[in-house]
Amino acid sequence: MQSSRRQFILLAATLASSSVFVGKAQAATAVAESDPTAQALGYKADASQVDHAKFTKYQPGQACANCQLFQGKAGDATGPCPIFAGKEVSAKGWCSAYVKKA
Ligand code: SF4
């Protein structure tokens, strides 16, 4: 719990120092799994495709929709994530920056 909180604070600090807050008017494109950041974080648009051997942190049931960083509304199929500034992640996706929604 404490480490999740620390991770979230770290992420928040990182995000605050970069220009990731993109206006709503911009059309967001979906994050490609081939995107270098996506590859580094093991992002998959379908969490069931996560490389479990490489990303042992992944637990079944975890998905962008229940991640603290997901900025879509409940029920949205996709939504913005500050890790991937200006792009949208799948609500069913997952990456290793996952932080369980409080
Ligand atoms: S940080 Fe959370 S919402 Fe963003 S891609 Fe990773 S799991 Fe999904």
Residue with tokens 């079944």: 60
Ligand 1 geometric centre to CA of 8 (Å)? 11
How much is the pTM?
0.76
pLDDT in tens, 15-33: 555 444 444 455 689 999 9
Please compute Rg for the chain using Cα positions: 13
Tell me if 70 CB under 6 Å of ligand 1.
yes
- Contact status, residue 39 vs residue 58, Cβ threshold 8 Å: no
pLDDT in tens, 71-98: 999 999 999 999 999 999 999 999 999 9
The pLDDT assigned to 86 comes to 93
Indicate whether 5 pLDDT > 90: no
Write the residue with the smallest CA distance to atom 4 of ligand 1. Answer: 81
Q: Which residues of 1-38 are buried (b: 16+ CB within 10 A; e: fewer)?
A: eeeeeeebeebeeeeeeeeeeeeeeeebeebeeeeeeb
The pLDDT assigned to 27 comes to 65
What does the domain layout of the chain look like in residue ranges? 2-18+30-90
- Distance of alpha carbon 37 from alpha carbon 29, whole angstroms: 15
| CATH fold for the domain made of 2-18+30-90 | High-Potential Iron-Sulfur Protein; Chain A (4.10.490)
What does pLDDT average to over the chain?
Answer: 86
pLDDT in tens, 45-76: 999 999 999 999 999 999 999 999 999 999 99
